[in-house]
Amino acid sequence: MSITRIEDIKNESKPTIELRRSEDGQLILKKGKQETPVELRRCFPWSEPSRYFSLRDEDENEMALIESMDRLDPASREVLEQAAAERGFVFIITAIDQIEEEFEIRVWKVMTKQGPRQFQTARDEWPHDVPGGGLLIRDVAGDLFHIPDPDGLDEASQTRLWAFID
């Protein structure tokens, strides 16, 4: 299987991939005559929100790496921008109420700026430092939770969090 890198085809007059939505809203990648349902994954760095997108099939195989939205035709770019907006929502954690370990997962109960949330992470998944400050947590569904200032959390939240900092 070959991964299409949009950067590799930047000098071609017409990109060799297209993005569209199916009738049920699924993101579809068209490479040549082949169409594949895909999910969008943002890649780092977070400081460049219109760059570096991985399109993956149902088995998590990377089907295309889009290094810049600018490399896409206007219709595909619009589809990608919409998908990125849907996937790009980041919850901002303001307090950690509880973290429980069960078998192979951790269950987090948190307060966010968007309201109370509960999510799961793999036991071997740890909060990561983010360029520009704070910690980022990715749950098993791919949603992102950001703690902009871990030291600014209340004391109980800090105690719960620091037990899980790698």
Q: How confident is the model at residue 2 (pLDDT cuts 50, 70, 90)?
A: low
- Whether 96 shows a pLDDT value over 90: the answer reads yes
d(CA 44, CA 37): 23
- Are the C-beta atoms of 96 and 157 separated by less than 8 Å? yes
pTM above 0.85, yes or no: no
Nearest to 44 by CA among 29, 65, 18: 65
The pLDDT of residue 3:
56
Sign of the alpha-carbon dihedral angle for 94, 96, 102, 105: positive
In the chain, the percentage of residues whose pLDDT exceeds 90 is 46
158 or 4, which is more confident? 158
Mean of the per-residue pLDDT values for the chain? 85
Strand partners, 98: 109
Lowest-pLDDT choice from 7-16, 103-112, 122-131, 148-157: 7-16
What pLDDT score does 14 carry? 46
Q: Per this entry, what is the length of the chain?
A: 166
- The pLDDT tens digits for 32-61 are 899 999 998 878 665 666 788 899 999 989
Integer Cα distance of 97 and 5 in angstroms? 42
Listed in sequence order, the residues at least 6 apart from 57 whose beta carbon sits closer than 8 Å to its beta carbon are: 36, 37, 38, 63
Please answer whether residues 20 and 76 qualify as being in contact, where contact means their C-beta atoms are separated by less than 8 angstroms.
Answer: yes
Domain ranges of the chain: 4-87, 90-162
Q: Is the peptide bond before 127 cis (omega within 30 degrees of 0)?
A: no
Task: Name every residue whose Cβ is closer than 8 Å to that of residue 12 and which is 6 or more positions away in sequence.
Answer: none
